[in-house]
Structure 1
Amino acid sequence: MIRTSAPVEAPAAGAWEESVTAALLGTDRRTPPGGTPGREAPVALLDTAAVQTLRRRAGLRPGRAAERPQPAAPDPRPALPEAAARRLSVLLADRPGPAGGGRRGTAPDLMELLPQWLAAANAHGYAAPPEALPALLDAARGRTDLRPAALAFAGPRALWLARLNPEWRFALRAAPGGGSALPGPDDAERIRRLWEEGLFAERVALLAALRERRPAAGRELLAATWATERAEDRLMFLDSLRTGLGPDDEPFLEQALADRSRNVRATAAELLSALPGSALAARMADRAAACVAVDHMRGTPTIAVEAPHECDANMERDGVVPKAPAGRGERSWWLGQLLEAAPLGTWSARLGGRTPQDIVALPVADDWQGELHAAWCRAAVRQRDAQWARALLGAPAAPGAGGPGAVSLAERARLLGTLDAAERADWVAGFIAAHGLSEAFQLLGVCAVPWAAPLGRAVVDALNIARDAGSYPWSFSGVMGLAERCLDPAEANRLDGLLAVPDEAEDASPGAGGYWAEAFQRLVTTLRLRHAMAEELADRAG
């Protein structure tokens, strides 16, 4: 409220600046404009400031109204069933708790169920409720793993919103063409114009879309401007050729082997080595075969290895990196690159007609086995060769947990990725039955969801064994979290016998029984929630 104990004269020009100066220095040292010194000076200053503020605000001219945005594009997909829409609201409202040790309590972790819910909603072809879009975009902004499924579910309205809110601009970057419709494969003029004039992200999206539908057209588009592209752009464009990669791409990739950029040359060589019939693959096969042979002079046939003594210019042109990483010998470094790029079909003829299983079982002289098998692992993954992957993985129950070629859990996980889903699940189930869960977490991550019944039973049985053995329970929290998301919900009823608090052995971790009971209760609750979510999404009558 403005006090009126003294009249306030109209302020002269610059009165606002004088009032600010008086307030900073104090009314004892500077008399306010339009006022007098003394006890009433502070009141006069406040009155002057109030009047001037009101005048400044009243004197502002209204700004020109912004153009009203065009309505969002319609989303023709069917609406969510009512129960599923309510469930989505609950999932989006959940927030992760504070970081800390193993999660306690029996309540499901709803945010970890959101990716699965989105995948199921997209499979049914539903449209997102408009009122849920802001929360959905906020969730995707905070979690990059959610973005593909969240943006697919959100549809064109999310892109409309993203243009109005800078915090959601990631949706435009993630959408093909920055949220604008890409030209059709037969619209040559629009394709040419977008390729020549579009932003980099739009050009990458255009090339990727063409490679999916007409690989040759995408390659020809890239070839037309290849010589004028920047090195970093050439690398990204070349990487797009992985989609639809085939023998017809070989001439272009061979030319890229002479590129000025080492990274471009390396990517071109990698793509060519993924084509077993390419000339580069044949050159690498000749080089690799010269380094590996069977020595029959020993009591048992043994693989003998003679690593390259130099990395010549032709090897370097074909993608061999001459400088070894710190702590790595040059010759073993060159050998690994040759073996990785050589077609795996080379080795049966080179090593006496043996099968991959027979070759992997041969002893290797002079401590070269680790290097040799590790390179064959990388080749099997690159060439998607399931037969070699099986040989290198070995039997899941084999001593050493994984066979002679699997040098690490990460390597085994990549090899498993070359097998179909059912075979992958069976192998991991056998691994868990033989070796327990201590090394299985990374392997479980490559298995299809929901887990096949044998794999699910193997995980639950192993958890039960760990509980009965009095094992430290928090070390299994990661596997338990995976089970909540990946175990088939139909397994819930089979777990009821695990919900009681077990008797704790004398050597068990204090409180372990209660933790295990909570964890199994949370697992059962989560499985039943996932079952309810699936039913809600399937109820089109809503």
Structure 2
Amino acid sequence: MSAALLGTERRTPPVAMRSGQAGAAALLDAAAVSTVRRRAALRPAPAGERPAPAPADPRPPLPPAARRRLSLLLADRGGAGGSSRRGTAPDLTELLPQWLAAADGYGYRAPEALLPELLDAARARTDLRPAALALAGPRALWLARLNDEWKFALRGIGGPAGLPVGDDPEGVRQQWEEGLFAERVALLTALRRHDPPAGLALLATTWPRERAEDRLMFLDSLREDLSAADEPFLERALSDRSRNVRATAAEFLSTLPGSAFAARMAERAHTCIGLDRTSGTTRIVVEAPHECDAAMQRDGVAPKPPSGRGERSWWLGQLVEATPLDSWRERFGGREPAAIVALPVADDWRTELHDAWCRAAVRQQSADWARALLGAPGAPSQTAEVSPAGSSRDLTKLLAVLPGDERARWVAEFIAAHGLSDAFRMLGVCAVPWAEPLGRAVVDALDIARDAGSYPWSFSGVMGLAERCLDPAAADRLDMLTAVTDEPEGASPGSGGYWSEAFQRLVGTLRLRATMRAELMPPPAAPAPAGETGETGRRTP
């Protein structure tokens, strides 16, 4: 070792050397002999048990072009490096989720040789996991049992395949009592979808012994298939030791309009809010609660407000948020939601009251109330109206309550009237690909921004969304925007060239998406060979 570190010219290696052999060669010969001697001294170990073969995956394979495309997308998932300027090349990293979703829609299976890369990609990006594991299928689970880095695939992400639900009650009980936490959550979710009462009964068997954070996660598993049959369990959860569990139980009960909880909250809210006709103009008057008593606290009303909020307004907002929205029709003389929202509110309670109604519309998924609270998107003061000073309402959540086509129209009209500055999060809740009116409104707004002389990276978020969400059929129509235009007076230096580059990337990405979609199309069925059967079923000559 000393001779190797210092060099054979400085230290003669203590090994046998043949006549005329250099010291370095003799040292390497000795190292090779030592290695063989060390290996030969090992005692043979019993052979390990060979793993069972991977299960079959009967789904059709990807078409050859789509297989090559997946290989390229996985190879490029590292991104374009640290450069801030993207150039005109499409961002393949952002197209991978869309490709996976499209491939899953056709029912293909992933190529076996690409399964390790696909699992590595899903390990690095949690947003890819459901679609990646669905494409990978049962062989991904087989591989995950052999590699600790892929254990995430065994945690129920991507569907309940292989979980003991249905006709295996003993398997369900054993998995519930002995499984890892993530496996138990996946089991409860799958069982609730298959048989909601059975899932609730299973949860009840161990509920008192679960940790508070686990109870919260298990309770959240009831959200998807919530029904009146869950009300007794949720009522008991209102007395839970954990404040978060109590709050979640109260939220779920408020989505059941016929529940006793909803009736209690409506009674409290109606005593605080009513109509005043004595002033000559019909208006809403508000008298917020003066205390948060024990009964209110049991029903999930948090007594201590966050910093900057008054106690009474905090209590009022929670009561209104949990009150069934349909009850306000009767309270306000049969008025429809739009007419109720249009009523003036006395003493500056309008923002607080409307914010609470917004949260209730989202919680109860009421399109009528969401539509009324959003109002007309093209109104000149709409931006200030939907998010007034001091408001806590989330406009995107309200939009998500509307049907997809109506949501796209609303956002398109909003962009046409107010531009893109307040529209980024709205675009994120619109269905992909964007409907024609929405796509046209986004492109027109980007074109206007270019004409104003802004830099394109001021709109990089919207441009990135457009690359992924515009209909690929719009590529040819957008070709005219790729030319370098004259910069207007006062424009940012070089903005014309940057915009041309950005639109070239947009058009190139749209065309690539169209190509990717065509590559996934199943091959056409082959025609019957000549000489087989004709229309009459007889053999043709």
**Pairwise mapping of residues 245-394 of structure 1 onto structure 2 (< 5 A)?**
245-394=226-375
Query: Is there any run of 5+ residues in structure 2 with no aligned partner, and where?
Result: 6-12, 17-22, 526-541
1:189 aligns with 2:173: no
Aligned pair partner of 2:382 in 401, 421, 427: 401
Aligned position for 2:10 = none
Aligned pair partner of 1:433 in 400, 413, 416: 416
Contact 1:295–1:301 under 8 Å retained in 2: yes
TM-score where L is the length of structure 2: 0.88
In structure 2, distance between residues paired with 1:216 and 1:81: 43
Structure 1 residues 541 and 62, CA gap change in structure 2 (3 angstroms)? farther
Structure 1 residues 82 and 455, CA gap change in structure 2 (3 angstroms)? same
Contact 1:456–1:488 under 8 Å retained in 2: yes
In structure 1, distance between residues paired with 2:476 and 2:255: 46
Structure 1 residues 423 and 60, CA gap change in structure 2 (3 angstroms)? same
Alignment identity in percent? Answer: 70
Aligned position for 2:214 = 233
Aligned position for 2:187 = 206
Q: 2:314 is paired with a residue of what secondary structure?
A: helix
Contact 2:358–2:393 under 8 Å retained in 1: no
Contact 1:409–1:442 under 8 Å retained in 2: no
Give the aligned length: 508
Q: 2:250 is paired with a residue of what secondary structure?
A: helix
- CA deviation profile, 1:37-91 (whole Å, cap 9, x unmatched): xxxxx99999998876664443222443322211111111001111111111111
Q: 2:475 is paired with a residue of what secondary structure?
A: helix
| Structure 1 residue 184 displacement after superposition | 3.3
Structure 1 residues 74 and 459, CA gap change in structure 2 (3 angstroms)? same
- CA deviation profile, 1:208-250 (whole Å, cap 9, x unmatched): 1111121111111212222232222222111111121011111
Aligned position for 2:499 = 516
Aligned pair partner of 2:203 in 219, 222, 229: 222
In structure 1, distance between residues paired with 2:63 and 2:36: 53
Aligned position for 1:142 = 124
Aligned position for 2:115 = 133
Q: 1:169 is paired with a residue of what secondary structure?
A: helix
1:470 aligns with 2:450: no
- CA deviation profile, 1:93-129 (whole Å, cap 9, x unmatched): 113123454x431111111111111111000000001
| Structure 1 residue 162 displacement after superposition | 1.4
The aligned amino acid for 1:518 is E
In structure 2, distance between residues paired with 1:452 and 1:492: 14
Contact 1:397–1:430 under 8 Å retained in 2: yes
Structure 1 residues 414 and 176, CA gap change in structure 2 (3 angstroms)? closer
Aligned position for 2:9 = none
Contact 2:455–2:498 under 8 Å retained in 1: no
Contact 2:129–2:158 under 8 Å retained in 1: no
TM-score where L is the length of structure 1: 0.88
Q: 1:242 is paired with a residue of what secondary structure?
A: coil
Structure 1 residues 254 and 319, CA gap change in structure 2 (3 angstroms)? same
Aligned position for 1:421 = 404
The aligned amino acid for 1:166 is D
In structure 2, distance between residues paired with 1:375 and 1:62: 73
- More displaced 10-residue stretch of structure 1: 360-369 or 473-482: 360-369
The aligned amino acid for 1:536 is E
Structure 1 residues 377 and 337, CA gap change in structure 2 (3 angstroms)? same
The aligned amino acid for 2:259 is S
Contact 1:246–1:275 under 8 Å retained in 2: yes
- CA RMSD in angstroms, aligned pairs only: 2.7
In structure 2, distance between residues paired with 1:429 and 1:261: 44
Aligned position for 1:4 = none
1:539 aligns with 2:539: no
Q: 2:222 is paired with a residue of what secondary structure?
A: helix
Structure 1 residues 352 and 132, CA gap change in structure 2 (3 angstroms)? same
1:460 aligns with 2:459: no
Structure 1 residues 473 and 254, CA gap change in structure 2 (3 angstroms)? same
Aligned position for 2:433 = 450
Aligned pair partner of 1:157 in 123, 132, 139: 139
In structure 2, distance between residues paired with 1:263 and 1:59: 62
In structure 1, distance between residues paired with 2:57 and 2:107: 11
**Pairwise mapping of residues 26-41 of structure 1 onto structure 2 (< 5 A)?**
none
Aligned pair partner of 1:89 in 64, 71, 88: 71
| Structure 1 residue 316 displacement after superposition | 0.7
1:79 aligns with 2:61: yes
In structure 2, distance between residues paired with 1:114 and 1:227: 44
In structure 2, distance between residues paired with 1:62 and 1:180: 41
The aligned amino acid for 1:281 is A
Q: 2:93 is paired with a residue of what secondary structure?
A: helix
Aligned pair partner of 1:485 in 440, 456, 468: 468
| Structure 1 residue 350 displacement after superposition | 1.4
- CA deviation profile, 1:12-39 (whole Å, cap 9, x unmatched): xxxxxxx99x999xxxxxxx9999xxxx
Contact 1:396–1:403 under 8 Å retained in 2: no
Structure 1 residues 290 and 403, CA gap change in structure 2 (3 angstroms)? farther
Contact 2:274–2:331 under 8 Å retained in 1: yes
| Structure 1 residue 449 displacement after superposition | 0.2
In structure 2, distance between residues paired with 1:347 and 1:519: 50
Q: 1:539 is paired with a residue of what secondary structure?
A: coil
Aligned position for 1:109 = 91
